[in-house]
């Protein structure tokens, strides 16, 4: 498989939630709009209303801080940072304690969203208006939730109706640096909840006409400043669900989600060697899934998930920035057409009030199909090439209360993968790669101490593995690499100590953590049949470590202050690159905010994003640090009528210039006006 689209290449912070799975997936007794069947197990502080938890972010916080996409929203959580991909793909990345998108799986309502070919999700394509909560498991990601969570897990919990009639509509107009029209975001939801059933449908759309570079940006040959060239994108998502609740303990829900997007790809502002005129005319995901929980007896509960997923996209490469002609060798159309189906079953047993035993089994069948259309030296359309793979996971977890204040949890999982088919097409013939299967074990344990309602402390240890993607095993990187069917899983073993304490109106949270990374997958250069090339190999080892701190203080009934700080250090060795540094993650990151309501109808929310510089790499392979910033943001909301709010504000108000990847500056000042109506 060539995968021509290649370029150069939570355990939680705190433990207020017990480690019992039932506490993370309790029956719907709280009217907070979270679809609890779709939650995963996180072991951190949950934020209330517009506050930010150590492992979760509520829908109200997403709205107040104006975070319309997943990448932008998730970085409010301590230990999570975002960056641009730094190449022609124009993708937004999420890092959890330094672990990237390959090592931190993404799920919607606990159903993994996954590209079997290369795992390259663009987190900027996932909208947040219809999300009730973003969950991030950092370090300790329960084995019960499935395979792949080597560095943690991210889960988007959709909304669920809480009243007989629930209606919400939002609209936001975005303005650029010069207060000109730059795009919009709209959202609508209608739902109903009754004693034994509920139903809901929602729609959200985000359109970016363009975004502006900071005024201090110095024009180059490839970018003249002002509106960023090729920065237009379009995304929409629809979500619908219907549920049956025959009694106080059981629930059965059928959900459907479809999202579609398209995007251009801004160019490197100073390097012509990396210039590719790429465009995605469609980037679509569709999921249909059934979730249930059934109490079999006083001591047994079974939970099930069944799903069918589709992912389709096309990457089109053009001759120049007009994106109109395809006559050169570098021009092509490359399409992915993937689907997956699978499910899981989990049995929770309570032999005693102090003991819970959980057993889980997961199965997933992935089918990847691709082809390429080339235009030079001759027009050629390849036949579809197909790969198919099955993944299994079995897990057991036991939670035991050793005393009224001490809980111990231990879990073990075993994952195995069976490759059924892997093929490519070259020189007019199919290539059938050798079949190699793989397996890996996972183990974890945690101890939690809660002497009183205001105090909690925990110690956790977790060792998780991650299987390599088809791309890592078989991609030839435009002819610059050879396949490695026997590539093994990489692993991270993590230790965390943390706690929380409330001192009257002040809540403090802290954690320190360490991760040992083994068999990290890297591109290793070597000579193959007399030609210099490269191959993905398990040659990397290293140490990640850091700390997180969060504070929230209610100063007066009308004033709340809050913030969090993260420190991440990564020492990872690449034996083939002496100057290698892990890229994309700032060493220091902080977020500070105030919530002031001088009048009952008026709220003012100033906030600040802060990050130190980070390692980035150039197209020639050089490493340097860049990207430190302090971004001032503001939102002002006024309730004009009960249930109707008008908001105004801005991001990066001082128009700071910064980059999170070499040659790709981030956007400057943006302004917005929004209207929200709720019933």
Judge contact between 91 and 71, C-beta under 8 A: no
| Residue 366 vs residue 527, higher pLDDT | 366
- The closest of 179, 155, 162 to 32, measured between CA atoms, is 162
What pLDDT digit, counting tens, does each position of 162-184 carry? 999 999 999 999 999 999 999 99
The whole-number average pLDDT for the span 191-205 is 97
Q: Kindly tell me if the per-residue pLDDT of 532 is higher than 90.
A: no
pLDDT(478) > 90: no
What average pLDDT does the structure give for the chain?
A: 91
Q: With contact defined as beta carbons under 8 Å apart, do 151 and 136 qualify?
A: no
- Mean pLDDT lowest among 27-41, 221-235, 469-483, 635-649: 27-41
Confidence band for 538, pLDDT divided at 50, 70 and 90: very high
Taking 80 as the threshold, does the pLDDT of residue 25 lie above it?
no
Q: So what's the pLDDT on residue 29?
A: 35
Helices (H), 407-463: none
Give me the pLDDT at residue 262, please: 97
Residue 8 clears pLDDT 50, i.e. is over it: no
pLDDT given at position 43: 62
Please report, rounded to a whole number, the percentage of residues in the chain having pLDDT higher than 90.
84
Given this model, what pLDDT does residue 48 score?
A: 55
What's the rounded Cα separation, in Å, for the pair 169 and 432?
52
Of 19-33, 116-130, 315-329, 502-516, the poorest mean pLDDT is in 19-33
Angle at the Cα of 392 (from 432 to 144), degrees rounded to 5?
Answer: 150
Name the pTM for this structure: 0.93
Does 525 have pLDDT greater than 90?
no
User: For the residues 463-492, what does the mean pLDDT come to?
Assistant: 89
Q: In this predicted structure, what is the pLDDT of residue 20?
A: 28
Give the pLDDT band of residue 38 (cuts 50, 70, 90): confident
Question: Is there a contact between 386 and 367 (Cβ–Cβ < 8 Å)?
Answer: yes
Query: Is the model's pLDDT at 393 over the cut of 80?
Result: yes
Kindly indicate the confidence band of residue 273, based on its pLDDT and cuts at 50, 70 and 90.
confident
For residue 498, what are the contacts with CB-CB under 8 A and spacing of at least 6?
12, 13, 14, 15, 457, 458, 509, 510, 511, 512, 513, 548
Q: Is 246 left (phi over 0), alpha (psi -120 to 50) or beta?
A: alpha
Give the span between the Cα atoms of 271 and 266, in whole angstroms: 12
> Which pLDDT tens digit goes with each residue over 628-670?
999 999 999 999 999 999 999 999 999 999 999 999 999 999 9
More confident residue, 31 or 561: 561
The confidence band for 426, taking pLDDT boundaries of 50, 70 and 90, is confident
Residue 212, token pair as written in the block: 């502006």
pLDDT at residue 217, as a whole number: 96
Which tokens in the block code for residue 448?
């939690």
3-state secondary structure of 60: helix
Token readout for 653 is 């108000």
For residue 49, what pLDDT is reported?
Answer: 56
Q: Which domains does the chain have, with CATH numbers?
A: 21-678 (2.40.170.20)
Rounded average pLDDT over 370-399: 96
pLDDT band at 31 (very low <50, low <70, confident <90, very high): low
Residue 4 DSSP symbol: T
Average pLDDT of the residues in 202-214: 97
List all residues 6 or more positions away from 330 whose beta carbon is below 8 Å from its beta carbon: 276, 317, 319
User: In the numeric block, which tokens belong to residue 183?
Assistant: 């795009």
Residue 211 — very low, low, confident or very high, per pLDDT cuts 50/70/90? very high
pLDDT in tens, 280-297: 999 999 999 999 999 999
Residue 310's pLDDT is 96
Least confident of 19-28, 59-68, 252-261, 394-403: 19-28
How sure is the predictor about 11, in pLDDT bands with cuts at 50, 70 and 90? very low
pLDDT at 3 over 50: no
- DSSP letter at 22 equals H
Q: What is the pLDDT of residues 574-589, one digit of tens each?
A: 998 989 999 999 999 9
Tell me the average pLDDT across 427-444.
93
Mean predicted confidence (pLDDT) in 88-106: 94
**At residue 15, does pLDDT exceed 60?**
no
95, pLDDT greater than 70: yes
Residue by residue, DSSP assigns 129-177 as TTEEEEEEEES---GGG-S--SSEEEEEEEB---SSSEEEEEEEEEE-T
Q: Which pLDDT score, from 0 to 100, does residue 117 have?
A: 87
CB 515 within 8 A of CB 492: yes
Contact 456, 19 (CB under 8 A): no
* pLDDT confidence of residue 531: 77
Instruction: Find out whether 468 and 487 touch, Cβ atoms under 8 Å.
Output: yes
User: Do 247 and 210 touch, CB atoms closer than 8 A?
Assistant: no
Q: Is the pLDDT score of 17 beyond 70?
A: no
464 pairs with which residues across the strands? Answer: 492
Looking at residue 477, its pLDDT comes to: 72
How many CB atoms sit inside 10 A of residue 378's CB? Answer: 6
Contacts of 169 (CB under 8 A, 6+ apart): 187, 188, 189, 676, 677
């Amino acid at each position: 498989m060539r995968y021509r689209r290649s370029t150069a290449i939570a355990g939680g912070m705190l433990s207020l939630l017990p480690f019992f799975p039932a506490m993370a997936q309790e029956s719907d007794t709280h009217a907070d709009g979270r679809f609890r069947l779709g939650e995963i197990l996180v072991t951190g502080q949950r934020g209330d209303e517009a506050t930010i938890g150590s492992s979760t972010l509520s829908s109200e916080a997403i709205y107040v801080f104006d975070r319309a996409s997943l990448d932008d929203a998730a970085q409010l959580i301590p230990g999570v940072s975002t960056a641009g991909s730094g190449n022609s793909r124009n993708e937004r990345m999420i890092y959890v304690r330094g672990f990237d998108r390959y090592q931190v799986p993404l799920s919607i309502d606990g159903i993994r969203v996954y590209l079997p070919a290369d795992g390259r999700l663009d987190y900027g394509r996932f909208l947040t208006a219809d999300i009730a909560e973003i969950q991030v498991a950092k370090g300790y990601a329960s084995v019960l939730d499935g395979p792949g969570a080597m560095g943690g897990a991210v889960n988007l919990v959709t909304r669920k109706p809480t009243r007989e009639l629930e209606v919400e509509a939002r609209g936001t107009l975005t303005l650029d640096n010069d207060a000109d029209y730059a795009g919009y975001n709209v959202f609508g939801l209608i739902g109903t909840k009754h004693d034994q059933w509920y139903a809901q449908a929602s729609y959200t759309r985000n359109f970016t006409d363009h975004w502006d570079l900071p005024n201090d940006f110095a024009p180059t040959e490839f970018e003249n400043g002002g509106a960023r060239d090729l920065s237009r994108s379009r995304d929409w998502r629809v979500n619908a669900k219907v549920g049956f609740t025959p009694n106080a303990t059981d629930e059965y829900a059928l959900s459907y989600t479809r999202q579609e997007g398209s995007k251009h790809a801004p160019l490197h502002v100073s390097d012509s060697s990396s210039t590719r005129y790429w465009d995605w005319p469609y980037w679509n995901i569709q999921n249909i899934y059934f979730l249930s929980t059934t109490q079999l007896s006083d001591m047994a509960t079974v939970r099930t998930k069944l799903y069918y997923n589709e992912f389709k996209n096309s990457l089109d490469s053009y001759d120049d920035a007009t994106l109109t002609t395809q006559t050169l060798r570098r021009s092509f159309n490359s399409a992915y057409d993937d689907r997956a189906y699978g499910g899981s079953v989990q049995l929770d047993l309570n032999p005693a009030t102090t003991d819970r035993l959980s057993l889980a089994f997961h199965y997933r069948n992935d089918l990847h199909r691709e082809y390429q259309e080339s235009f030079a030296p001759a027009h050629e359309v390849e036949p579809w090439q197909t790969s198919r793979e099955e993944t299994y996971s079995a897990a057991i977890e036991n939670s035991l209360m050793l005393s009224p204040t001490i809980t111990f949890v231990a879990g073990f999982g075993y994952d195995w993968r069976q490759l059924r088919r892997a093929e490519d097409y070259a020189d007019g013939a199919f290539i059938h790669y050798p079949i190699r299967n793989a397996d890996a074990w996972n183990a974890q344990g945690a101890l939690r101490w809660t002497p009183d309602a205001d105090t909690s402390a925990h110690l956790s240890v977790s060792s998780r593995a991650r299987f390599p993607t088809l791309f890592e095993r078989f991609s030839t990187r435009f002819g610059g690499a050879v396949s490695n069917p026997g590539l093994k899983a990489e692993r991270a073993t993590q230790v965390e100590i943390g706690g929380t304490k409330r001192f009257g109106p002040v809540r403090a949270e802290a954690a320190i953590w360490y991760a040992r990374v083994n068999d990290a997958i890297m591109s290793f250069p070597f000579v193959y049949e007399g030609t210099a090339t490269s191959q993905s190999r398990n040659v990397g080892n290293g140490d990640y470590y850091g700390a997180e701190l969060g504070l929230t203080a209610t100063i007066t009934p009308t004033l709340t202050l809050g913030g969090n700080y993260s420190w991440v250090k990564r020492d990872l060795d690449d034996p083939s690159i002496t100057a290698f540094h892990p890229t994309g993650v700032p060493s220091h990151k902080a977020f500070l905010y105030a919530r002031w309501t001088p009048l009952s109808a008026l709220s003012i929310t100033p906030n600040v994003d802060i990050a130190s510089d980070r390692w980035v790499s150039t197209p020639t392979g050089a490493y340097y640090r860049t990207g430190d910033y302090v971004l001032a943001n503001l939102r002002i909301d006024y309730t004009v009528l009960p249930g109707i709010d008008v908001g105004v504000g801005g991001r990066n108000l001082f128009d700071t210039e910064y980059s999170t990847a070499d040659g790709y500056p981030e956007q400057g000042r943006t302004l917005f006006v929004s209207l929200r109506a709720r019933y």
